[in-house]
Amino acid sequence: MGILSNRVERSEIKAGDHLYTWRAVYTYSHHGIYVGGSKVVHFTRKKDSDPSNPDPDPLPSSCLTFPDCGFQRPDSGVILTCLDCFLKNGSLYQFEYGAHPSVFLAKLRGGTCTTAQADPPETVVHRAMYLLQNGFGNYDIFENNCEDFAIYCKTGLLPMDDPGIGRSGQASAVVGMPLAALLSTPFKLLVGGPVGMATVTAGMYCAGRYITDIGVRKDVVKVEVEGLASHLGWRESGGERDLIDLSEQEVVVLEEEEQLDGEEESRRKRRRMI
């Protein structure tokens, strides 16, 4: 595994691998799950997204190699493309799972590895193909992006308390660098010169990445892909998956429980009268 990322050859990859490629001169990376047959399932914006909100990873208008390249349901951001269209002439990299903490902290870029363990390849491919047909919610560059999609497919893990924080190492790195610089400011009197400040900032940046890694966090649960929609509060409405008002849902559940308690109490009274 490299310090920056793990470059691989096409002959080395297999179905169930989490792949990524760098975009815009290493500014960001795009992630997906290799499902075999030179096909990748990945996550981007829906076809009917707001045109004023540009697609972070637009795809070629046509593919001459695979006729089904670019398959995407109208109400979903999950898409199937060939490996060439996924890479867009970029290099091929493989995301690392089960990374030792020392290896994780040594990585200079977020979004290249996690300490979490991966599930079997057949499970990973099943999740990716299921989500291709059923969607993965709305794309959000910080809270629900392509790396989040690939990590879920590989691990089945989701945070319970705040699903929008900590799944994506790439997003955590973007937020973590300025935050590390801000938090390290009080230490400027304790270190000598700019080199010391840079060391403290880098240390806090790496520590921040580590504590938000999904393999380290304690507030994660394993969610079966078939129950993902209900876990995240999605519902089918007019062909689109919308967020359920969880507060209303909780009220309905409480009302049903109260009704059941009342019926049970009535049965007990009848038994005492007999």
Which residues are designated catalytic?
Answer: 30, 42, 146
Phi, psi of 106 (to 5 degrees): -75, -20
Coil, helix or strand at residue 36: strand
Q: Are 226 and 133 in contact (CB under 8 A)?
A: no
Residue with tokens 């089904």: 68
Strand partners, 41: 33, 80
CA-CA distances (angstroms) from residue 239 to 52, 65, 98?
22, 31, 38
C-alpha torsion sign, points 23, 62, 144, 225: negative
**Close Cβ partners of 264 (under 8 Å, ≥ 6 residues apart):** none
Distance in angstroms (rounded) separating the CA atoms of residues 164 and 217: 13
Give residues with Cβ within 8 angstroms of 128, minimum separation 6: 33, 35, 41, 153
Alpha-carbon distance 40 to 17, whole Å? 10
d(CA 131, CA 135): 5
